[in-house]
Structure 1
Amino acid sequence: MALKYTNKINKVRTFALGLVFVGILVMYIGIFFKSSQVIMTISMLIGFLCIIASTLVYFWIGMLSTRTVQVVCPNCGGATKMLGRVDACMHCSEPLTMDKSLEGKEFSEHYNNKKNINKKRS
């Protein structure tokens, strides 16, 4: 069974989308506590803060994606953005690297962590 890798940008965007849904759900739950204004207000504020956090995460990943390198996937031919030394194709999840020393090695997201670079090379 082949492992399914995901693109780092898509992971962060999925997390931000999840924050939006959690925020709306928490706000919706607050409606059931109309009789207690304190619980309803806290629920609405927590939901609002989740949505604001989502906005900040979307802004951060948008700014981060402007520094990416756009490459063409050799497997599917689709244009994808690479963030870091190794990443996965946004379309087909093919492991990608631009580092010649990592070609032919088993794909690991630990190659992006500077602490683990020397450990994986040996």
Structure 2
Amino acid sequence: MALKYTSKINKIRTFALSLVFIGIVIMYLGLYFKASFTVMTIFMLVGFLATLSSAAVYIWIGMLSTKAVQVECPNCHKVTKVLGRVDACMFCKQPLTMDPSLEGIEFDEKYNQKKQPKEEG
């Protein structure tokens, strides 16, 4: 079974986009409570905060993206960005690593964690 990996930058951008739609849906649900001004206002504020937090996430990933290392993917030969020790190509989903000690090892996103679990043996 071939697993498809996604780059961390694309995951965070997808999360930010989903926050926009979630916020709009929450605000739209608030229109069903026109009879109760308080409930409608709460829905509108929560939806607005979700949409606003999306903008904050987009700003954060934009700043993080400027620090990412740009490499040429060995599979599709396009320039992509790598965050952390392991990541995936933004275009072809090829697993990539910047750590020479991880070359040839099965791709696992756990390699980006600060503390590596100790292997039993």
TM-score relative to the length of structure 2: 0.95
Partner of 1:2, secondary structure, is coil
Q: Distance in 1 between matches of 2:56 and 2:108?
A: 28
* Runs of 5+ consecutive residues of structure 2 not aligned to the other structure: none
Partner of 2:67, secondary structure, is coil
Partner of 1:91, secondary structure, is coil
Residues 90-116 of structure 1: per-residue CA shift (max 9 Å, x gap): 001000011111100000111111201
Shift of 1:30: 0.7
Q: Distance in 2 between matches of 1:31 and 1:86?
A: 45
Residue identity (%): 66
Residues 47-69 of structure 1: per-residue CA shift (max 9 Å, x gap): 00001111111111111111000
Aligned to 2:94: 94
Query: Which residue identity does 2:106 align to in structure 1?
Result: E
TM-score relative to the length of structure 1: 0.94
Shift of 1:32: 1.3
Partner of 1:115, secondary structure, is coil
* Runs of 5+ consecutive residues of structure 1 not aligned to the other structure: none
Aligned to 1:48: 48
Q: Distance in 1 between matches of 2:51 and 2:118?
A: 39
Q: Distance in 1 between matches of 2:98 and 2:49?
A: 38
Q: Distance in 2 between matches of 1:73 and 1:119?
A: 31
RMSD: 1.3
Aligned to 2:72: 72
Q: How does 1:1-80 map to 2 (within 5 A)?
A: 1-80=1-80
Q: Distance in 2 between matches of 1:56 and 1:36?
A: 30
